[in-house]
Structure 1
Amino acid sequence: MPLKELGEATYQELAALMHEAVGLSFPAAKKPLIASRLAPRVQRLGLDSYEAYVALIAGGDDGGEFQMAVDLLTTNETYFFREPAHFDLLESELSHSRPQRLRLWSAASSFGDEAYSLAMLLSDLQQTGRIGADWSILGTDISERVLRSAVEAIYPEERLRHVTPERLKRYCLRGSEGSAGLVQMQARLREHVGFGQLNLCRPIEELGPFDAIFLRNVLIYFDAPTKQAVVERVLTQLRPGGLFFIGTAEGRVPGVAGLQVLSPGAFRKVAA
């Protein structure tokens, strides 16, 4: 049976549900995209309408289907050392300050590419004596599925296309035979990186203070008030003088005070 078209009322109900639960903002123009992303899942479940699917995920006992819908509706495309200018800035700052203890937070870590990119950089800095050995990285995301993948730390080689040959040799294990084309982060790198589930649109427990926070390429999913609230919530976990990064295409969040612009998408938290 062909799937019925996603009606306007059902789309508005879905959009309201996603906004209330996880802060996602879906304007009217995104209805065709949302329908195309959900269609295969709706059909796989044997449902004949989007209405039935929205009713399922709105219920209290959905068997984890709401989380599946969130995964389908958010783009998790990422790769190692995305937006390299941010990593260069972090390296420059740390090389100057030479901290002996470091805590970094990848606040929308997806599959972990960003967190392990940071781990490679910090490990390099430690080996050259520019930072101490006491450093760690926390990666958080709302999706359990991507976090499970991040803990495994196995990636297609294509995702590491911006990793230098020296770092590939130093930090990665290449698969062979049935695992050809895959790369796993070495255990000595993984031991510095931890992951946990977190909804940025809910109160955040005391995770910090962190010396740098990366909140990149997630604000695009939120409307303006939610963006401001999320950024202000996240910044409570950043120490004064710490570095804060968002995606370069995300601009500057209006209404958020206490940030000094360093470069596109890069800021310093000004001491109160």
Structure 2
Amino acid sequence: MDTLQDRTFQAFSRLMHEAIGVHFTAAKKPLVASRLAPRIQKLGLGGYEDYLALISGHTAGDAGDGATGGEFQMAVDLLTTNETYFFREPAHYTLIEQEITRTKPLSLAVWSAASSFGDEAYSTAMLLADLQLRGTLGSDWRVLGTDISDRVLRSAIEAVYPEDRLRNVTPERLRRHCLRGSGEAAGMVQVHPKLRERVRFGQLNLCQPIEDIGPFDIVLLRNVLIYFDAATKSAVVDRVLTQLRPGGLFFIGTAEGRVACTTPLQPIAPGAFRKT
């Protein structure tokens, strides 16, 4: 297969930016090429330009309106799905635990706004279930996970993971909240149905208007802003923060730095803020 030409890469980049806000710099060209090549070969296409022509017939609405099929959605999945695992950036979960221990709320709503395969949403649910068991949190709590990728959302609902993805989960939590596979499913873990009942998932494009899905007490928008340019980052953060209660906690990836936005935020730790 021919190499990915600069003009074709730029066309891919424009298409993704217009549709879902994702910005690919020139440094991302090898990543785009490597992630799309197997799919292009599987479809029997001549190369990157043929694939670009195939997905260019789609619009931003195809990705944001919940379409379950279409090659454009497949391209989105291939180009935006990154590594994830349970209790990633554990200091954030410590902050959540400290906040709940301090306030002892009777109810709590959490939004995992870029939930990918569900690792973050279920990690949060594990923590909240344990705090409820401890008597620190009331029984009225819920977690919402959203993502633009229909494929990862279907996987999140099934909640089946390789054991390595749960390497940061304590043995006690594994026993309480997970079921280990056996036989052909050895090495796999499924989140317990009782915990899955507390978590729901839905498709959402952060670069389009967000319906009133809140308000939330905690919002996690971690490790997704890296895909956006500066203007899109600011717009996405402001849009997401409309769903967070004043005084609520907001988290981004610790390596993503503070994002310029118009919503007043008080920094409380790396990647952690309070809406003022």
Scaled by the length of structure 1, what TM-score is found?
0.96
Q: Equivalent residues in 2 for 1:122-161 (5 A)?
A: 122-161=128-167
2:66 alignment partner in structure 1: none
Query: How far has the Cα of 1:254 moved from its partner?
Result: 1.8
Report how many residues are paired: 268
Q: Equivalent residues in 2 for 1:103-182 (5 A)?
A: 103-182=109-188
CA distance in 2, matches of 1:186, 1:37: 33
1:39 alignment partner in structure 2: 37
1:234 to 237, 240, 249: 240
The one-letter amino acid paired with 1:65 is: E
The one-letter amino acid paired with 1:148 is: R
CA distance in 1, matches of 2:51, 2:159: 32
Scaled by the length of structure 2, what TM-score is found?
0.95
Aligned 8 A contact 2:238 2:261 in 1: no
CA distance in 1, matches of 2:79, 2:268: 32
2:27 to 18, 26, 29: 29
Query: How far has the Cα of 1:45 moved from its partner?
Result: 0.6
Aligned 8 A contact 1:110 1:150 in 2: yes
CA distance in 1, matches of 2:144, 2:114: 10
- The 4+ residue runs of structure 1 with deviation greater than 2 A are 60-63
CA distance in 1, matches of 2:58, 2:134: 52
1:17 alignment partner in structure 2: 15
Could you tell me the percent identity over the aligned residues?
A: 69
Query: How far has the Cα of 1:5 moved from its partner?
Result: 1.7
1:56 alignment partner in structure 2: 54
Aligned 8 A contact 1:76 1:111 in 2: no
Instruction: Render the CA deviation track for 1:187-210: whole Å, top value 9, x for unaligned.
Output: 110110000000000000000000
Query: How far has the Cα of 1:186 moved from its partner?
Result: 0.6
CA distance in 2, matches of 1:114, 1:60: 30
**What stretches of structure 2 of length at least 5 have no aligned partner?**
63-68
Residue 94 of structure 2 is aligned to residue 84 of structure 1: no
- Secondary structure of 1:125 counterpart: helix
Instruction: Render the CA deviation track for 1:214-240: whole Å, top value 9, x for unaligned.
Output: 000000000000000000000000000
- Secondary structure of 2:93 counterpart: helix
The one-letter amino acid paired with 1:266 is: A
1:265 to 252, 255, 271: 271
